Homo-oligomer: A and B are copies of this chain.
Amino acid sequence: MKVEILCTGDEILTGKTINTNYSHIARRLGDVGLDVTWGTTVGDDRASLLAAFHQAAARADAVIVNGGLGPTVDDLSQEIAAEACGVPLVLSDYWMQRMTESYARRGRVMPANNRKQAMLPDGAEFIDNPIGTACGFAVTIGKARFLFTPGVPREMRRMLDEQVIPRLLKLSGIASVTRLKRFHTFGIGESRADEMLAGIPGLAIDGDIKLGFQAHYPQLETKLAVRGADESDLTLRLAPVEAEVRRRLGNFIVAEDNETLEGVILAALRAQSLTLAVGEDYTGGNIAARIAPLVGAEGVFAKGVIMGSLTAGGVTAEALRAESGASHALAVAVQLDEGPDRPDFGATITLQIADTGGTVSRTARLVGGRDWVRVGAAELGLDCLRRHLLGLPVDERIDFERR
């Protein structure tokens, strides 16, 4: 099935807003096995919108339209959809009532121009928006089913998962329940992860699991997209594969699904009633900035210290622990190479973790330019702290290391 994405709006067309809605929609479709074949961007312009609808209708089986459902005059999606279908716009009494009630609950009167958001092409299928005033809808133009979604990312994302993708899967004849399991690792590159997970999709009970990767240095995301008849079927299919991925990627998994490395560290510290101090030099506050502002970090993050050079300043993890009164201290010292910033610019990282049991340390050499080294050093420091707190080896070699 050919699926297209059509993004509308002057802010997107002129580049003022980076089109992250497009990439989100395309990735989510890919996750459930639907292929996006074409992307179009047009502005808030009647002629362009109408032309774009007709052209997509001639190419695709399904088109996700994003944006243009707002209450203002430059929001044209319903109107042009009706024109492309050759039908009038009609008022959805149901949506008018929903909007009116929603405003009333917040003690407000609905502005008159919101009425426009309840005008849908005659005969359109209603698509619910549980968290906003822009409802979605679906119509058929030419040979393609068009599904309209709002431009507000939070609303679009929820409607995509709950409303749009199930409809697309049904259209495509694919079984209708999907789940995406994600593993976040640090220290292994995409090609090594691919090797480590050789044969994984074949472990699925009847083969309907898709394995994918997304590298965003310093982490790698490993995704298992599963389809099944229903939720319990999904759990059944996923469980053995998930367990095998967890076994193979092992200690390199820093977090799963919506967890983050820093969140995992904070949870481990809180679970054991521990406190933390952090010493940094070239990472310049980037390690502290990952933990200190987290909800729940109050009373756990005791102190951060940043100096030009921890080594020159005589700051050790043990000294920092004593000074701060924290139960644990992490010190990450970076010794930069001499010379200009280039892709082969490198640094030697020396990190220490002190607790009541003494100090463990690790050195590593990273190469890839100043920014690359800074980001990698911060991640390495946090990952070693995670490993130490969870009783895992802190000195396991990572792919980014050079000898």
Flag A58-92 by CB within 8 Å of B: 1 or 0 each: 01000000000000000000000000000000000
Q: A22-B15, A27-B14, A43-B37 are in contact. Are A302 and B291 (CB under 8 A)?
A: no
Per the bound structure, the CA–CA distance linking A43 and B291 in Å amounts to 39
Restricting to A288-325, which residues have a CB under 8 Å from any CB of B?
Answer: 288-289, 291-293, 295, 297-299, 301-308
Flag A1-32 by CB within 8 Å of B: 1 or 0 each: 00000010000111111111011111110100
A265 CB-CB contact with B under 8 Å: no
Distance in Å: Cβ of A178 to nearest Cβ of chain B: 17
Considering the complex, give the chain B residue whose CB is closest to the CB of A374.
B293
Q: A15-B27, A48-B37 are in contact. Are A292 and B285 (CB under 8 A)?
A: yes
Chain B residues with CB below 8 A from A286, complex form: 285, 289
Chain B residues with CB below 8 A from A26, complex form: 13-15
Q: A285-B288, A292-B284, A293-B284 are in contact. Are A38 and B27 (CB under 8 A)?
A: no
Does more than half of chain A's interface fall in helix, strand or loop, or is it mixed? Answer: mixed
Q: Are B36 and A14 in contact, CB atoms less than 8 angstroms apart?
A: yes
Chain B residues with CB below 8 A from A291, complex form: 284
Considering the complex, give the chain B residue whose CB is closest to the CB of A302.
B308
Q: From the candidates B40, B281, B293, name the one contacting A370 in the complex (CB within 8 A).
A: B293
Number of copies: 2
Restricting to A315-348, which residues have a CB under 8 Å from any CB of B?
Answer: 341
Per the bound structure, the CA–CA distance linking A295 and B51 in Å amounts to 51
Interface size class of A (residues with CB under 8 A): 35 or more
Q: Are A18 and B20 in contact, CB atoms less than 8 angstroms apart?
A: yes
Per the bound structure, the CA–CA distance linking A289 and B289 in Å amounts to 8
Per the bound structure, the CA–CA distance linking A19 and B374 in Å amounts to 25
Per the bound structure, the CA–CA distance linking A299 and B28 in Å amounts to 47
Chain B residues with CB below 8 A from A48, complex form: 37-38
Chain B residues with CB below 8 A from A132, complex form: none
Q: Are B36 and A15 in contact, CB atoms less than 8 angstroms apart?
A: yes
Per the bound structure, the CA–CA distance linking A305 and B323 in Å amounts to 12
Per the bound structure, the CA–CA distance linking A14 and B281 in Å amounts to 39
Considering the complex, give the chain B residue whose CB is closest to the CB of A40.
B40
Considering the complex, give the chain B residue whose CB is closest to the CB of A340.
B295
Considering the complex, give the chain B residue whose CB is closest to the CB of A288.
B285
Distance in Å: Cβ of A323 to nearest Cβ of chain B: 11
Per the bound structure, the CA–CA distance linking A313 and B302 in Å amounts to 10
Given contacts A38-B52, A303-B305, 8 further A-B contacts (CB under 8 A): A13-B26, A18-B23, A19-B22, A39-B39, A284-B285, A285-B286, A285-B304, A306-B306
Task: In the A-B complex, list the 6 residue pairs whose CB atoms are closest, starting with the nearest.
Answer: A285-B285, A15-B26, A304-B306, A284-B292, A39-B41, A285-B288
